[in-house]
Structure 1
Amino acid sequence: MATIPVDPLEKVVVKLPPPAFSDIAKASNDLINKDFYHAAAAALEVKLKAPNGVSFTAKGTSAHEGPVSSSLEGKKALANGTHSLPFPSSLVHCLSLPIRLFESDYFQSFPHFRCLRSGLQVHYRSSTFSPSDFQPKRVIIFLTYRRPGISITQSWNTANLLSTKVELDNTFASGLKTEVLSNFNPAKGNQGQKLNFHFKQANFHGRVFADLNPSGAVSTTADAVLSHEGFLVGGEVGYDVQKAAITKYSAAVGYTTATYNAAITATNSLNVFAASYYQKVNAAVEAGAKATWDAKQGSAVGLELAAKYKIDPASFAKAKINNLGIASLAYNTKVNRGLTFGIGGSFDTQKLNEAGHKLGTSFTFEG
């Protein structure tokens, strides 16, 4: 492997592949939707990893109404992992934080960086950086890259559906991830196959999903996102091969920085519009909002507000409320190394003296 010269760098252009189309508003969507436990009366998740690298995940959910659902999943990664690349311990003045995957003329002059740049991961240390300070600092850069490999995941759920997924990451081309999925029901036979492609580069993220259903019909969905200096533009289109017709189309624009991001999406053939905003107020507080309007149904604008407070390194609390007066609260804590506990509730603030409120708990065991 070639040796990287130790000449100090004055500036590095820091770049990260843009998010997938469905993740353009991920920060606000996660804040509003994730880690609220009232959706199920109780949820249990057990994660185990065998010495040979096989990971097992068992999940069980008890709904407020209806039967208990569960699934068992096993995953094995073949020839995956990370490998360190030599790099000078130079202090680099970065243009933005957090540190991201980068690509510049300096690194492109070395063949092994050109072929591996899509898998590069950047790690940094800085004695002067604090989570509440997002100004550029001088930091020490370290590099690793993911080796090409194959992951196999198999699962079985209470609907008697056997699913197999084979992932080939950076195998056929740098930045390309291929997924082959197959579903089988012992009582009903073949339940369809899927072939997915994910392609990432510094300013581009594209995906193609091909779905073959049991009847033989093929439908595809493709989306792409372009980024430039924090701005994001993306589009999605669905196509039915058998009917030779477009089934759906969507578009989105966004802007993201280290501390906040905003996005406007138009989905369901440009009939459902959503505007979202997320901000990391400080090291402990996050806030977000989302407004949604369905032009086809002519409904009123729906509004959701949410906030998250990090109580300590092991626990946090979340709260949200919408325009209908439905308020949700949640608390999550890592009890110890192997147990995470969550509890939450949803309350109709306009009918506090009536039934209909929901409570839920979550237990996650890891070993």
Structure 2
Amino acid sequence: MPPNWAQSEALAPPVFSDISKNQNGLLNRDFFHAAPASLDVSTKAPNGVAFSVKGKTSASGAISGNLEAKVSDKATGLNLTQGWNTANQLDTKAELADILTPGLKVEALTSLVPNGSRGAKLNVFYTQPSVTARAFFDLLKGPTFVGDVTVGHEGLTAGAEVGYDISSAKVSRYSAAVGYAQPEYNVSVSATNNLSVFSAAYYHKVSPLVEAGAKATWDSKVEASAGKAVGLEFATKYVLDPTSFVKAKVADSGVAAFSYQQVLRPGVKLGLGASFDALKLAEPVHKLGWSLSFSA
């Protein structure tokens, strides 16, 4: 089950992007058809240094991958992460938690392609029992700023997001969302894309073995065609045993997705997935994929 963010006086509200976390997790995570094959290996050295290798293939047969190492200093709260991917991009991230005041965290991120593009970003996070705020600065593109804030009390969370182009002094985007969470269910309503795309979603833990959820979306800028004005998708998950589960998702577009995950042994997971377009059964648009994950 995805982490539940049911509110309490001792817990901070979720960040803006996580107001619909359980709903989005059920609808979008653990479906393995997006890539024909993917591999994820994570290990941790005795001194605490963590390594990860991720790779996947595309429909064209191209392989992309990323190698990453992370060093953490618990005494100072400093985390350093260095990554290198098959696009020859070097990504560096430095994180420092609880600086100046408890709940304040700062991240500095840089990206570099030798003889190519460069990037630099600064992220700031602030968390307190009743409010969570974030600020993202892209220092080389624009520069631009994206910030969001959420407030919560006894399961009810409300939040807003705004983007600002500093060089042109213009608001580039804005969104809002509200959600309500209880241990057995979550509901949320959001208005994104400058309050032009509206979504409503729910997540329900029906029993210890069964989860269900759905999401409806309406884009006010798109005219209804053929009587279809709202997009709808539904997903469910069934736990077969402590080591395996199956998931299914159906959308009104006619696309159905199915997945199966099995823990082969502690730290080793195998995922199998498939998607089918019921409106184009005779066309080569169906997808199959698998995922293998190791952690030690």
Q: Which amino acid aligns with 2:116?
A: K
- 1:27 corresponds to which residue? 22
- 2:4 corresponds to which residue? none
Q: Which amino acid aligns with 1:308?
A: K
- 1:298 corresponds to which residue? 223
The alpha carbon displacement at 1:64 in A equals 1.5
The alpha carbon displacement at 1:325 in A equals 1.4
Structure 2 counterparts to residues 1-367 of structure 1, below 5 A: 14-65=9-60, 67-79=62-74, 149-188=77-116, 191-213=118-140, 217-299=142-224, 300-367=229-296
State whether residues 9 and 130 of structure 2, in contact with CA within 8 Å, keep that contact through their aligned partners in structure 1: no
The alpha carbon displacement at 1:350 in A equals 2.8
Segment of structure 1 superposing worse, 298-307 or 232-241: 298-307
The alpha carbon displacement at 1:338 in A equals 3.0
Q: Taking structure 1 as the reference length, what is the TM-score of the superposition? A: 0.75
Secondary structure of the residue that 2:23 maps to in structure 1? helix
Q: Which amino acid aligns with 2:173?
A: K
- 1:109 corresponds to which residue? none
Tell me how large the CA RMSD over aligned residues is.
1.4
State whether residues 218 and 231 of structure 2, in contact with CA within 8 Å, keep that contact through their aligned partners in structure 1: yes
CA distance in 2, matches of 1:270, 1:261: 22
Q: Which amino acid aligns with 1:195?
A: L
- 1:7 corresponds to which residue? none
CA distance in 1, matches of 2:67, 2:113: 15
Secondary structure of the residue that 2:33 maps to in structure 1? helix
- Radius of gyration: which is bigger? 1
CA distance in 1, matches of 2:22, 2:67: 29
CA distance in 1, matches of 2:201, 2:107: 30
- 2:5 corresponds to which residue? none
The alpha carbon displacement at 1:66 in A equals 5.4
The alpha carbon displacement at 1:354 in A equals 3.5
The alpha carbon displacement at 1:163 in A equals 0.5
The alpha carbon displacement at 1:39 in A equals 0.4
Q: Taking structure 2 as the reference length, what is the TM-score of the superposition? A: 0.93
CA distance in 2, matches of 1:33, 1:298: 26
The alpha carbon displacement at 1:310 in A equals 1.0
Equivalent residues, number: 285
Long gaps (5+) in structure 1: 1-12, 81-147
Segment of structure 1 superposing worse, 63-72 or 258-267: 63-72
Q: Which amino acid aligns with 1:222?
A: G
- 1:83 corresponds to which residue? none
CA distance in 1, matches of 2:113, 2:284: 39
Q: Which amino acid aligns with 1:306?
A: A
Q: Which amino acid aligns with 1:362?
A: S
The alpha carbon displacement at 1:63 in A equals 1.1
CA distance in 1, matches of 2:78, 2:241: 37
Q: Which amino acid aligns with 1:52?
A: N
CA distance in 1, matches of 2:91, 2:240: 39
CA offsets 1:262-319 (integer angstroms, 9 cap, x no match):
1111111011111110011111111000011111123521100000111111111100
Q: Which amino acid aligns with 1:28?
A: Q
CA distance in 1, matches of 2:33, 2:104: 38
Long gaps (5+) in structure 2: 1-7
CA distance in 2, matches of 1:16, 1:310: 29
State whether residues 9 and 129 of structure 2, in contact with CA within 8 Å, keep that contact through their aligned partners in structure 1: no
State whether residues 16 and 149 of structure 2, in contact with CA within 8 Å, keep that contact through their aligned partners in structure 1: yes
The alpha carbon displacement at 1:347 in A equals 0.7
State whether residues 233 and 250 of structure 2, in contact with CA within 8 Å, keep that contact through their aligned partners in structure 1: yes
The alpha carbon displacement at 1:14 in A equals 4.7
CA offsets 1:309-359 (integer angstroms, 9 cap, x no match):
111111111000000111100001110023110001001123334422100
